[in-house]
Amino acid sequence: MKILVPVKRVLDYNVKVRVKADGTGVDLSNLKMAMNPFDEIAVEEAVRLKEAGVATEVVAVSCGVAACQETLRAAMAIGADRGILVETDVELQPLAVAKLLKALCDKEAPQVVICGKQAIDDDANQTGQMLAALMGWPQATFASKVTLAGESTTVTREIDGGLETIELKLPAVVTTDLRLNEPRYATLPNIMKAKKKPLDTVKPDELGVDVAPRLATLKVAEPPKRSAGVRVADVAQLVDKLKNEAKVI
């Protein structure tokens, strides 16, 4: 069984961003990038399934600039077998990525695609769902437990009210939530080995996909600064303030 794992190169979650002075976006020049944390969880899950003898091959895919190769190498250091870079300098939106992934699914015929539930840069939470729709496959989003058996997969999902367990027929799309697993540390020997694993590069037009953005960003702004809090003397004063100043009750 082949598993395909899309991995996105995003700003490292420890690094603070700054909105550009002209409001056209955030300043990413020269900042440290890393693999989207939810995608690391997805790679880890796929590799565990391979180690358990359920899956036979784990293919990592990244769409974007040439530097996404580093993200693919990081996925291979966790244990993915090979990488595919869909290289483009165009700003990719979720629909474009979903179409690229569809083209690769048609070619690679994986049984499962494990995506992150969202990327921590745009927080769109769309790619996995769009891919499932384009493929006509079932989907299980926000997975906190995944079991694969034969023709189907059983997935426990994190939902507002608690946990939901569903069974899907394969092939299917699964998106990972935070509690699915804790990714391993990439060891130096594995990073060394990852450098030698195969990495193919294709261009969007070779896959017949038009990746031109469909949405235009009008403006990016920082959230308004929070004003300092006040200490209230007692509950009565709190209620009074909530009623009369904040007007929320």
Partner 1 sequence: MRESMEFDVLIVGGGPAGLAAAIRLKQLAQDKGTDVSVCLIEKGAEIGAHILSGAVMDPRALSELIPDWQEQGAPIKTAVTEDRVIFLSETGGRQIPNALLPDSFHNDGNYIVRLGNVAKWLGEQAEALGVEVYPGFAGAEVLFDEAGAVKGVATGDMGLTREGEPGPNYQPGMELHAKYTLFAEGCRGHLGKQLEAKYKLREGVDPQTYGIGIKELWEVPAERHVPGLVVHTAGWPMDSATYGGGFVYHLEDNLVSIGFVVGLNYTNPHLSPFEEMQRYKTHPEIRKYIEGGKRLAYGARAIAAGGLQSQPKLVFPGGALIGDDAGFLNAARIKGSHAAIKSGMLAAEAAFDALGAERSRDELAAFPEAFRTSWLHAELHKTRNFKPYMKKGLWMGSLLFGIDQNLFGGKVPWTLHNSADHTALKPAAECEKIAYPKPDGVLTFDRLSSVFLSNTNHEEEQPCHLQLKDAGVPISVNLAQHDAPEQRYCPAGVYEIVQEEAGPRLQINAQNCVHCKTCDIKDPTQNINWVVPQGGEGPIYQGM
Ligand X SMILES: Cc1cc2nc3c(=O)[nH]c(=O)nc-3n(C[C@H](O)[C@H](O)[C@H](O)COP(=O)(O)OP(=O)(O)OC[C@H]3O[C@@H](n4cnc5c(N)ncnc54)[C@H](O)[C@@H]3O)c2cc1C
Residues near ligand X (CB under 6 A) are 13, 37, 120, 177-178
Q: Which entry of partner 1, ligand X, none binds 119, CB below 5 to 8 A by partner kind?
A: none
**Given the complex with ligand X, which of 90 and 178 has the nearer CB atom?**
178
Contact between 189 and partner 1 by CB under 8 A: the answer reads yes
Q: Can you spell out the DSSP letters for 65-88?
A: STTHHHHHHHHHHHT-SEEEEEE-
Contact between 136 and partner 1 by CB under 8 A: the answer reads no
Contact between 30 and partner 1 by CB under 8 A: the answer reads yes
User: Torsions phi, psi of 31, nearest 5?
Assistant: -85, 160
> What distance lies between CA 202 and its chain's CA centroid?
21
Least separation in angstroms between CB 17 and partner 1: 10
Contact between 188 and partner 1 by CB under 8 A: the answer reads yes
Q: Which entry of partner 1, ligand X, none binds 37, CB below 5 to 8 A by partner kind?
A: ligand X
Q: Which entry of ligand X, partner 1, none binds 120, CB below 5 to 8 A by partner kind?
A: ligand X
Radius of gyration of the chain (CA): 21
Strand 2-6 to 112-116 pairing? parallel
* Of the candidates 56, 91, 48, 77, the residue with the CA atom closest to the CA atom of residue 199: 77
Least separation in angstroms between CB 77 and partner 1: 10
Q: Which stretch binds partner 1 (CB under 8 A): 24-32, 97-105, 172-180, 207-215?
A: 24-32
**Given the complex with ligand X, which of 13 and 167 has the nearer CB atom?**
13
Which is it for the CA torsion 222, 38, 107, 127, positive or negative? negative
Least separation in angstroms between CB 150 and ligand X: 30
Place of tokens 């997975």: 143
Alpha helices, H only, 144-229: 188-194
* Of the candidates 66, 62, 12, the residue with the CA atom closest to the CA atom of residue 34: 12
CA-CA distance, 68 to 225, in Å (whole number)? 34
Options 24, 56, 165, 187; binder of partner 1; rule CB under 8 A: 187
Task: Give the 3-state secondary structure of residue 149.
Answer: strand
**Given the complex with partner 1, which of 12 and 210 has the nearer CB atom?**
12
Contact between 178 and partner 1 by CB under 8 A: the answer reads no
Residues that bind partner 1 (CB under 8 A): 12, 14-16, 18, 21, 30-32, 34, 182, 184-189, 191-192
